[in-house]
Amino acid sequence: MAKTRFAYFCQSCGHESAKWLGKCPSCSQWNTFVEEVIEKDNKSIPNWKTASTTLQRANKPVKVADITFKEEHRLLTPDNEFNRVLGGGIVAGSLVLIGGEPGIGKSTLMLQLALNMPGIKVLYVSGEESEHQIKMRAERLEGVSSLKSQVESLNVRSKSEIEHPKSEIGGCFILTETSTQNIFKQIEELEPDLVVIDSIQTLHSAHIESTPGSVSQVRECTAELLRFAKESSTPVFLIGHITKDGMIAGPKILEHMVDTVLQFEGDRHHVYRILRTVKNRFGSASELGIYEMLGEGLREVSNPSEILLSQRDEPLSGITISTTLEGMRPMMIETQALVSPSPYGTPQRTATGFDTRRMSMLLAVLEKRCGFNLGAKDVFLNITGGIRVEDPAIDLGLAAAIISSHQDIPIPFKTCFAGEIGLSGEIRAVNRVEQRIAEAQKLGFEQIFISKYNLPSGGHDKKGIDLSRYKIDIKVVSRIEEVFEILFG
């Protein structure tokens, strides 16, 4: 019998050590090492029988020119926002990790996805909730009643009663189990097209003698699921917990093992949720999807500007509209500023949804290049909608909002901005300005301020597209003084 081996693992990054250490040499965190018992049995590696496992890959060097590439087939879901975040759909054999705060809606999102996949056999494995709890949530979700065939296939069964359906094309099946050996046994009998694990921290493998949720258990269970996904070409979705710091619980290597990492963000006191791509091997890593949490489930928001722009009857000072890009999606956001005399000796600088250091840079440019006395004023910035924006194209809109609040002069509501401000007061060019202009025109804006460096010559941008075809009034400026002269005279 193999001798039991003890090891110490860092609960933050997963670094393994033969003895206890006060400070982790990998992530520099203190008091994160925990002793765990490790005992592996290589003879009982989980086995699964699928048609794709008969294909044996030759572990030999292959010349790049000799590699035959076939266009990957993506599985489209009824959720367009989810397809966008994944890069165009679910890739066969991919391993996707979804993290988020407790109660944010991770399980609701994945169950809603499993119930609305017509013609696809989905196995939903839950280690946190009972079958009856999942059934109660499924009945509340929107669209479940209309998909009668899928609801009938959601008969609550124990893990020993799941059988391979011979007459059903697709459906959602529920399995309440935490042992990976039993899960793979049921997968072998059911042969699903999609597997959802809720959550990875609740699974445990018989090859590791540590408790569920430990570093070694999370790493081993993920490795087994990764091996299954790649050999059977079955996509697997993992739901992961996050720590109080907002990081996905478990070792950091967990995010490196999976193909895609999605972060489900939002405030539980607001109805809007953001699904953000952190890592994606099959598409862009800067996409996001926006949802609205309702009593019937999550509703996808196809037009994000509807939640980022407030409806008001009269113009107010300190409010401007800026254009930003999240991935390939242009959005119009409302930027708010409040400038008031400081009652204390040191003025306050507070920004919500925007970098405070960049706000200090904008204030220094306005004071140095434009002559506005903002050193003795309190300045507060806010990005509406509860999102955080890092696009430098909103610099011009924020500067205009600050001066609008400082002079108490409102800016017309049908005016928007797209430009980056340099330290010398110049308006720098931004990328994909055509998409920003088209989005502003589609939403009914009358004029937009852009940099003249986006138009090298003849009213054409760098790609040779004639911007005169747009109906919106395009204000081309080169310095920040020109913007304020047009707006405030």
Q: Residue type at 122?
A: V
Q: Are residues 15 and 145 in the same domain?
A: no
Residue 106 assigned to a binding site: yes
Q: Domain for residue 479, yes or no?
A: yes
User: Can you tell me which residue has the tokens 């193999």?
Assistant: 2
Question: Cα separation of 210 and 177, whole Å?
Answer: 18
Q: Domain for residue 63, yes or no?
A: no
Q: Are residues 417 and 339 in the same domain?
A: yes
Q: Domain for residue 410, yes or no?
A: yes
Domains held by the chain: number: 3
Domain containing 229 — which CATH number? 3.40.50.300
Q: Are residues 92 and 23 in the same domain?
A: no
Average per-residue pLDDT for the chain: 82
Residue 427 assigned to a binding site: no
Q: Are residues 297 and 213 in the same domain?
A: yes
Residue 191 belongs to what domain range?
76-302
Q: Are residues 429 and 344 in the same domain?
A: yes
Question: Cα separation of 274 and 177, whole Å?
Answer: 29
pLDDT digits (tens, 9 = 90+) for 119-133: 899 999 999 888 899
Residue 266 assigned to a binding site: no
Phi, psi of 54 (to 5 degrees): -70, -15
pLDDT at site 269? 66
pLDDT digits (tens, 9 = 90+) for 282-307: 888 878 888 888 888 888 888 777 77
Q: Residue type at 198?
A: D
Q: Domain for residue 68, yes or no?
A: no
Q: Domain for residue 59, yes or no?
A: no
Render 93-126 in DSSP notation, one character per residue: T-EEEEEE-TTSSHHHHHHHHHHT-TT-EEEEEE
Structure tokens at 240: 């992961």
pTM (2 d.p.) = 0.74
Residue 107 assigned to a binding site: yes
Q: Domain for residue 399, yes or no?
A: yes
User: Can you tell me which residue has the tokens 């001798």?
Assistant: 3
What's the order of all strands across the beta sheet hosting 329-341?
A: 349-352, 377-383, 329-341, 319-326, 415-417, 447-451, 473-477
Q: Are residues 146 and 168 in the same domain?
A: yes
Q: Are residues 105 and 164 in the same domain?
A: yes
148 pLDDT more than 60 = no
Q: Are residues 22 and 86 in the same domain?
A: no
CA atoms within 13 A on the CB side of 317: 13
Identify the bridge partners of residue 294 per DSSP, sorted by sequence position: 297
Q: Judging by DSSP bridges, how do beta strands 5-10 and 33-38 pair with one another?
A: antiparallel
Q: Are residues 432 and 374 in the same domain?
A: yes
pLDDT digits (tens, 9 = 90+) for 176-225: 999 999 999 999 999 999 999 998 989 998 888 777 888 888 888 999 99
Residue 105 assigned to a binding site: yes
Domain containing 401 — which CATH number? 3.30.230.10
Domain boundary residue, one of 302, 337, 354 = 302
Q: Are residues 254 and 135 in the same domain?
A: yes
Q: Are residues 332 and 457 in the same domain?
A: yes
Render 396-439 in DSSP notation, one character per residue: HHHHHHHHHHHHT-PPPTTEEE--EEPTTSBEE--S-HHHHHHH
Domain boundary residue, one of 302, 320, 336 = 302
Quick check: 477 and 452 in contact, CB under 8 A? yes
Structure tokens at 220: 């081993």
Dihedral, 322, 386, 284, 432 alpha carbons, nearest 10: 0
CA atoms within 13 A on the CB side of 346: 3
Residue 89 assigned to a binding site: no
